[in-house]
Amino acid sequence: MSTKYIFVTGGVTSSLGKGIICASLGRLLVSRGLRVTIQKLDPYINVDPGTMNPYEHGEVYVTDDGAETDLDLGHYERFLGIQTSQQNNVTTGRVYFDVIMKERKGEYLGKTVQVIPHITDEIKSHVLGLGQSGKYDVVIVEIGGTVGDIESLPYIEAMRQLRYDVGRKNTLSIHLTLVPYLAAAGELKTKPTQHSVKTISESGLSPDILVCRSEYQLDTSIRRKIAQFCNVEIQDVIASLDAKSIYEVPLLMLEEGLDSRVIEKLNLPAKNADLEAWRQFVNKIKYPGSETTIALVGKYVEHHDAYKSIVEALIHGGAMNDTKVHIRWIQSDYINSENIQKTIGDVSGVLVAPGFGDRGIEGKLSAVKFARENKIPFFGICLGMQCAVIEFARNCAGLEGANSTEFDITCTYPVIDYMPDQRMIQEKGGTMRLGKYECKLTGSTKSRHAYGTEIIYERHRHRFELNNDLRQELMDQGLVIAGINPERDLVEIIELENHPWFVGVQFHPELKSTVANPHPLFVDFVKSVKTFSDKKKKSGDIQQQQPV
């Protein structure tokens, strides 16, 4: 069977959730026994999002092969249980960069280099690179941006051409659009959808299926109207209503028959969808047995997308423990030893988030100290782990003035310091320690217990590390080294004893948590959060029962 390509475009407005629709369709097709991957084409000129501010772009999702990519790739991995790579994310910057490099090498043999055919050919080669690998039955291609944007045009044109290059019957065009409810008129409006379909059709990529985001159910008459004006059959008007959880979307799309329509149109050999495990997961999210609250301490907290994978991994960990984890977002700029009790005194877990630069560091350190002293379950991720080491050095190991050289190059005790190979690096893009590295778990630690295995592989994105020159001194004072990268002898995990759960990791476990395989550290962290919360409730009940 030749590989099938599904192009997904969006219209009317951004933020309709194209990534979730792609991931949901992908999930349904995987559940029907097909081999699926998803590729994101991003129309911006940055070569990758690695140098972008989290406020601009949200989280940078890192793949095993060390690519810094769009956060939608996280959804693809979480929903499909697949591994993505650099190949799954292409930006305009990357495309132009490669074309210009080829031009400099003389590869265009004196031709004038143009958007069509050179840029469109380059885009097509990226899509075909995945499709022709022989690994997939279906490649879903999500085209970033909104139809009508100037930046998206080369992508739409490339997809239009691809339809003919690989054969019309091997491709499908899905358009995601909005059907807004106009309160004044008291009805749903189809005109924006009609216009959006008109725009994309003018580019030669007329949709075969329309997925219509709406706050209200689309009745038959409105579906008929959309079908009639937009050149599709009524069964190809799929309603996508707002869902409480993104994990419900595959089930909603199943009900609407999105997968069946795709399978029929592409003539795919597919069995019935087996979504039992998914349903159970969704039920656990919808009907949790208990509720817990953790503080997520970071400096980009106004923009939750900056911590996307952490939020999702906490949902996965919550489902495994039959509890709903509420996140209290704590802006680290505003906390200090004076107000910390008031801010997070009542939570059952503290997570100090990854980040860069010195803004908000002292706030993060006060959160670590509070969690350590009050024996509240603590999880430090990347910068969060580095903060835990600094706090321990200053307040437990007597290393006054301990810091990271990221924040204070002349500090007395640089317990966190540049990795040697990072010192001379000048260029910012793609030069951190990135991607998958081995870690050997040591001793009978919390981490070793949670993973249930000795060798693990986790993803990294950082320039600094625990300073090996000061490692022994910290260990002598009680810091537990729970994981080491054997190749370079780097500390990857630290823990504290005499604490219910205090773990800091130099890597990003959140990037590997999926619905089918929730990350063991998140599962174990939430378990200890739940135990802590139960204990608190019990002692509260007892206190209430005491006669005054």
Interface with ligand GLN (CB under 6 A): 354-356, 382-383, 406, 461-464
Distance in Å, CB of 404 to ligand GLN, minimum: 7
Distance in Å, CB of 332 to ligand GLN, minimum: 13
**349-352/290-298 β-pairing:** parallel
Distance in Å, CB of 355 to ligand GLN, minimum: 5
Dist. CA 376–CA 536, nearest whole Å: 11
Q: 44 vs 356, which CB is nearer to ligand GLN?
A: 356
Q: 67 vs 383, which CB is nearer to ligand GLN?
A: 383
Distance in Å, CB of 65 to ligand GLN, minimum: 17
Q: Give me the count of residues in the chain.
A: 548
Residue 177: beta bridge partners?
212
Structure tokens at 22: 């792609």
Q: 59 vs 256, which CB is nearer to ligand GLN?
A: 59
Dist. CA 517–CA 452, nearest whole Å: 14
List the catalytic residue out of 126, 462, 499, 508: 508
Distance in Å, CB of 425 to ligand GLN, minimum: 11
Q: 172 vs 382, which CB is nearer to ligand GLN?
A: 382
Structure tokens at 344: 């997070």
For residue 416, the tally of other CB atoms under 10 A from its CB is: 26
**Is 382 among the catalytic positions?**
yes
Instruction: Report whether 15 contacts 167 (CB < 8 A).
Output: no
Dist. CA 409–CA 393, nearest whole Å: 17
- In angstroms, what is the C-alpha Rg of the chain? 25
**Is 326 among the catalytic positions?**
no
- Which residues, in sequence order, are CB contacts of 345 under 8 Å at separation 6+? 370
Q: 102 vs 303, which CB is nearer to ligand GLN?
A: 303
Dist. CA 172–CA 332, nearest whole Å: 47
**Residue the block writes with tokens 């132009």:** 96
- Which residues, in sequence order, are CB contacts of 516 under 8 Å at separation 6+? 81, 277
List the catalytic residue out of 59, 122, 406, 510: 510
Distance in Å, CB of 392 to ligand GLN, minimum: 17
Q: 68 vs 256, which CB is nearer to ligand GLN?
A: 68
Helix 361-373 and helix 383-395, axial crossing angle in degrees, nearest 10? 70
Distance in Å, CB of 419 to ligand GLN, minimum: 8
- 190 φψ region: left (φ > 0), alpha (ψ -120 to 50), beta (else): alpha
**Is 59 among the catalytic positions?**
no
The closest of 491, 507, 246 to 389, measured between CA atoms, is 491
Distance in Å, CB of 356 to ligand GLN, minimum: 4
Instruction: Report whether 21 contacts 249 (CB < 8 A).
Output: yes
Give the H or E element holding residue 402: strand 402-404
Distance in Å, CB of 416 to ligand GLN, minimum: 7
Query: Strands across the sheet with 464-466, in order?
Result: 402-404, 413-418, 464-466
The closest of 285, 277, 344 to 317, measured between CA atoms, is 285
The closest of 7, 19, 27 to 70, measured between CA atoms, is 19
Residue 519: beta bridge partners?
none
**209-214/171-178 β-pairing:** parallel
Structure tokens at 206: 């007329």
Distance in Å, CB of 197 to ligand GLN, minimum: 42
List the catalytic residue out of 382, 439, 458, 492: 382
For the chain, the first-to-last Cα distance in angstroms comes to 77
Q: 328 vs 463, which CB is nearer to ligand GLN?
A: 463
Continuous H helices in 356-470: 361-373, 383-395, 446-451
How far lies 135's CA from each of 2, 130, 174, in Å? 11, 8, 23
Q: Half-sphere exposure (CA, 13 Å, Cβ side) for 400?
A: 0
Dist. CA 68–CA 377, nearest whole Å: 30
Q: 78 vs 462, which CB is nearer to ligand GLN?
A: 462
Q: 451 vs 507, which CB is nearer to ligand GLN?
A: 507
User: Three-class SS of residue 518?
Assistant: coil
Q: 97 vs 356, which CB is nearer to ligand GLN?
A: 356
Catalytic residues: 382, 508, 510
